[in-house]
Structures are given as structure tokens and as C-alpha cells.
Structure 1
């Protein structure tokens, strides 16, 4: 009797946490594949040259391994950030769909903003460690500060205090909100448009929705991403003063010195990172869900046989 009562409870718990686990795992797998492009994007934003020149320089100095510097921080970030943001979005939309209704676009946008804020706030320390490690890889070997994500978090806390882990949290959260609003809302809406109104097959609808959501995610979030990178990587000058007093100051100074072209520097590389990451996240998630369905079907079949 105890086992019969425990089983529905466990199933209920898994049903609740499953969107978070699935999204987190799919995001980590996608990050492993896309890490080299992300590394190039950060170096372009730090003013080290074009995507082509940065790639050539990295290969010449450190080989292929240079593209995976900071991978541990990237995976840690996805384990926290993507699990929270995509899991929250899917949880909210599933609650709405339980009423047998499809959320309107504005509702999906609000869910995306909420999910982005939650994920970015929780994942900000890991995101800081990732940016620091990627910038660290540009230094000479004897000048590098961090060995892995946990070492970076420990050293930042020890040298700068716990609150320093949320340095740049403002633009990080804004970026997360902008990215999720652009990516998730547009993905769901365009998928329905391609599939139901334009009668695309599921695969074609998914592919089209991925590119649409990738574009809107990149266009909405790149300004915040640029500011976030500058804030998280800034160092004090000889007088102990930082180049920017905050996110707004950074954004205004950037616009004043270079205009929108500067703040959108690296857009092609950024889009090339966002779109494939979105694509692979959804592909991995689809495969994980298919595997779960097969396992559930096999479990149900086994239970039916045992009951007979």
C-alpha cells in the first residue's frame, strides 16, 4: 500500500521538475557544441579584431583547445540559467494550456520576461565566471587567474566579496529578459504560424521558428550583452577608478563614442551563436522527450504484463 501511495507522489514531483531538468540538459549539450563561437564573440566584443582574425590568432597561439577555455563555467551557467529560464517559461505556458487555451503573444512575452529575469538572477555568478575565464584566456600563461569555474567563483568571492558575483547583474538580467522575450515568445508564435496557418510539416515549422526566434533574440539582447560584457570585464585604472559607473553609463558612453554600430558590433557572430544554440537546444530537448516517451511506454507495457 505504501508503495502505491508513494508512486503517484513521485510521479507528480517528476511531472513538475521535468521541464526544468530537460531544458537544463538540452541547454548544456547545446553549449558544449556552440562554445567555440561564444568564445570568438566575446573576443570580438573586447576589441581584439574581426571574427576571422580572432579565430586565426586563437588557432595559432593555443590550437583547438583555445576555443573551449571557460567551458566549465559555460556548462555551470547553463545548468543554472537555462534550467531556470526555459523551465520557468515552459511551466508557465503549460499551466495556461491546462485550461485548453493557447497563450496570446503578449502573455508569452510576459512569461519570457519573467523566465529571463529568474534565470539571469540565479545564473549571474556563473555568467560572470564565464566572462572572466574567456577574457583570462587572452592573457599570457603566467598572468591567467583562473583554472576552472569553481576556482573563478572562489577567487572572485575571496578578493572582491560575495556581492561581486553579481557584478553586472543589472545588464545580465536585462539581457536575459530581452533574450527570452525575443526567443521564446517568437519561437512559439512562429511555430504555430508555420505549422497551423501555412501548413508546414513539423520539421520545417521547427526550423523556420528557430531562425525567427534566433533573429529576435539576438536583436533584442545584443545591446544588453555588449554592456554586460564591458561591465563584467572592466578593470580599475592606476587611480583605482573604473571606466564606467554602471550599465547606463556604459551604454551612454558607448553610444556617444561609436553609436549603434559599436553596440551592435559582432552581431553576425552573436546571431551565429544564438541561432544554432536555439536550434540545438530544441533538437536535444526533442530527442530527450522522445526517449522519455519510449521509456514511459516500455514501463507501462511492463506494468500491464505484470498485472495480467
Structure 2
């Protein structure tokens, strides 16, 4: 009994979520590149397969990995922040409840949603500069030669943006990234946490790989559905030239020119990317936790 209590009491390092997310993005980054290029089309020209073929045919296979350094930096900032905040705030709430003599078996779902929302919003702000460079580097190969930025890596991109466009430009679309971070973190962390808990609570699942896969796949679907409109807006704003859009509403109206479906442009690659990314992140995270313990 004492060994069990020791295992429950032991806290995993705060950076595990970031490590798991970096591992996942190394595998799913090409899907994210395709999604970004689909979302930045001014007119609907290519679907998922067509865009994939076009990227490889025009710029080579490794163009799918454009912006990988920025993607890694983004996970190291954005995901580390949101996972760490989520676990830290949950621990604080549970500790407070324990001191008051109230010891529920698990935190209510609405509290998980609130904590995930706050954590995701903070992560979105912290990760905004890396997010901006990631989107630009992924979309660069699609631009005419004389308009390409040709960033060598995320470090150069951050410095050049700060010097030529001003430091504040690094946070272009930060409010949108923060809002999206809030929604995707609710969809991923809160729903994964709750679905996993309910599955294990039933008589059909145990705390194993099948449960982790099922819960993370469900969370990936939910996260994709609730974040698509904001994701399209964020991508357009971050990839826009200075002064191209005067406000979020201006950008939204421009997207609506192709109809409401414009907000779900790239839905298939978004799901294909976010689904595997969510699965890999939580499977890696659970394995890291087991290794640490």
C-alpha cells in the first residue's frame, strides 16, 4: 500500500509534455506544412493529395520539412508551457481540496476545461514568435522567387523579423494564437484527461496503450473540430504582409469570399495532422511518465 501511495504522490517533471510534443512534431511536420499551404491559397486550386504532389514536384521532398526548426522551437515553448501549467494548476487545485478535507477521486470535468483553457492561452502567447516563423517558413516555397524570405533557420527568422519589421511583429496574430491555444488545449488535454479517466473507470479498459490510443484519438478529433476556423484565421494573419489586413474581421471577410467553407479549408490535413500528433504526443507522454516512475 505504501508503494502505491509513493507512486501516486510522485510528480513527473514539468517538461515532459514539451518533450513528448517535440517527438510527435518530428513525425507529423510534413502534414502541417501541407495544411498551411492549403490554408494560404487565395483560391481553391489543390486538395490534400494535389498540394502534396505539387510541393514535392516543385521544391522536392524535403520542402515538406520547411520550418522544422521553428516547429521544434514552437513545441518547446508553446507545448511545454501549456502542459506544465495544466499539471501545476491541477496540482494546486487538488492540494487546496485536500487541505479542506475534500478528496474527490478525480477533478470535475468543468474544472479541467477551465484549467486547460488558461494553460492553452498562456502557451499561445509564449509560443507566438515561434509560431509566426513556423508558418512563414512552411509557406515560403509557395511564394514567387523574388518574394521569398529564405530564412535559414528559426533563429535567423526571429532576428530578421525583429530588425526589419519591429519586435512587436513577432507577436502578430498572438491573440489569435492564444485563442486557438486555449481551444486546442481544451480539446486535447481536458478531453484526453476526462476520456481516459472514464475509460479506465469502466470495466472494459485498463491504463494501457489501447486506452491511451483511444482517448488521444478522440481528443484529436474534438480538438480539430473546435479549432479549424481560428486556425485558418491565425495562419492567414501570420503569413500576411504588413498592412494587408487591418483587423481580424477584415481577414475573416476576405476568407468568406470563397464561402463559409473557407474557414474549414485544409480540414482533412488538419485532422490528419492533429490526430496523429495528438496520439503520438500522449502515447510518448505516458511512456515518459512510466520511464520516470
Per the shorter chain, which TM-score range? Answer: 0.7 to 0.9
CA distance in 2, matches of 1:182, 1:260: 22
2:6 alignment counterpart: none
Retained in 1: the 8 A contact 2:12–2:292? no
Are residues 1:35 and 2:29 paired?
yes
Task: Choose from 218, 224, 236 the match for 1:212.
Answer: 218
Q: Could you report, residue by residue, the CA deviation over 1:180-217 in whole angstroms, capped at 9, with x for unpaired residues?
A: 11221111111122221353233332222112111111
User: How far apart are 1:250 and its partner, in Å?
Assistant: 1.7
CA distance in 2, matches of 1:230, 1:143: 17
Aligned-residue RMSD, C-alpha: 1.9
The runs of at least 4 consecutive aligned structure 1 residues that moved more than 6 Å come to: none
Task: Choose from 49, 53, 57 the match for 2:54.
Answer: 57
Are residues 1:230 and 2:236 paired?
yes
CA distance in 1, matches of 2:11, 2:215: 26
Give the number of the structure with larger relative contact order, counting CA–CA contacts within 8 Å between residues 6 or more apart. 2
CA distance in 2, matches of 1:258, 1:201: 47
CA distance in 1, matches of 2:118, 2:229: 19
TM alignment of 1:94-133, pairs within 5 A: 94-98=91-95, 99=98, 100-101=103-104, 102-133=106-137
For residues 140 and 147 of structure 1, do their structure 2 counterparts lie closer, same or farther at Cα, with a shift above 3 Å needed?
farther
Task: Choose from 151, 175, 178 the match for 1:173.
Answer: 178
Retained in 1: the 8 A contact 2:59–2:141? no
Retained in 1: the 8 A contact 2:12–2:289? no
1:134 alignment counterpart: 138
CA distance in 2, matches of 1:90, 1:49: 41
| SS in structure 2 at match of 1:109 | helix
Gaps of 5+ in 2: 1-9
Retained in 2: the 8 A contact 1:84–1:115? yes
Q: Could you report, residue by residue, the CA deviation over 1:99-144 in whole angstroms, capped at 9, with x for unpaired residues?
A: 3432111111101110011101011001001011111122356653
Gaps of 5+ in 1: 1-14, 294-308
1:302 alignment counterpart: none
User: How far apart are 1:251 and its partner, in Å?
Assistant: 2.1
For residues 84 and 245 of structure 1, do their structure 2 counterparts lie closer, same or farther at Cα, with a shift above 3 Å needed?
same
1:68 alignment counterpart: 65
User: How far apart are 1:286 and its partner, in Å?
Assistant: 1.8
Larger Rg: 1
